[in-house]
Amino acid sequence: MVLLGIALVICALAGPFGTFSKLSLGERFFYFGAMMSMVFVLREVRDNLLAMGGVAGRLAWPAFILCLSGGITGMNETVFADWSTWVSGTTVLFLVLTISGLVWAAQQIVAAPSDGVEEASIDAAPEPEGAGLVENLLMQRLPEDMRAPVVRLEAQDHRLRVVTEAGTATILMRMSDAEAMMPGPMGLRIHRSHWISVDKVVGTVRRDGRDLVLMADGVEVPVSRNTKDAAIAAGIRFEAANEDPPAARIS
């Protein structure tokens, strides 16, 4: 959002596309702010369509381009009385690509992955059938070979690490959004940055005054004090003194 704010200030001050002579400074702030907000809304709609897959997924990009072009044209027809006489179709296309590019670049910079981490592609292919496989939008965000029962979720900056029985993938998604996609009874948020599947817990550990749960992938996940009661209610048993598992890794 900071980078978008900077881009908005630059556009408002520079007044590109002839807006410097046609709009006041305040009007330019409103104009470009409205343009960028429209791009954000349409991108959210496009991403949801892509996640749905099928016909909706195939129509996501054409719908995005058409709606964005129509929105920009409609706004300019309203703001500029002589819009149709001084602008060409090429200018409209250039304006669409420029604003879309600014929004995309800002999001990529803010959500840049750490070294060695690749973002999982959004695949609209049908989910594989399997016992215990959760059918939800989260699965459609994972590569096909990673679509299996979820072991745990881990928030990493603006990305989400999804650990399934088939492996690990990192996707661009908020923890709260992924958590909302998971059926309530199967797991819970055990820590600010961790969600776990209760049936994938293989043990508990208490170390240095902290409670941890040992997951099926061999990782120890910390338990927040304010979530321990919910974990106990979900069936996780915490012992006063547990032996440390020899090969566990702390997430």
Which residue reads 């408002």 in tokens? 12
Q: For residues 251 and 234, give the distance between their C-alpha atoms in angstroms, rounded to a whole number.
A: 22
- Alpha-helical (H) ranges within 182-249 are 228-233
Give me the tens of pLDDT residue by residue for the chain, a chain 251 residues long.
566 678 788 888 888 777 787 788 888 888 888 888 888 888 888 877 776 666 776 777 788 888 887 787 777 777 776 655 545 556 666 666 666 666 666 555 554 444 444 444 434 344 444 334 444 678 888 888 888 999 999 998 778 899 999 999 888 888 888 887 776 667 888 998 999 999 999 999 888 888 999 999 999 999 988 888 888 888 888 876 544 554 455 55
CA distances from 55 to 29, 52, 75, 171 (A): 37, 9, 29, 23
Predicted structure pTM score: 0.46
Domain ranges of the chain: 2-110, 137-250
Choosing among 2.60.40.10, 2.40.50.1020, 2.40.10.480, 2.60.40.1290, the CATH entry for 137-250 is 2.40.50.1020
How far, rounded to the nearest angstrom, does the alpha carbon of residue 100 sit from its chain's CA centroid?
Answer: 18
Q: Is the dihedral of CA 225, 230, 231, 235 positive or negative?
A: positive
Write phi, then psi, for 217 (nearest 5 degrees). Answer: -90, 5
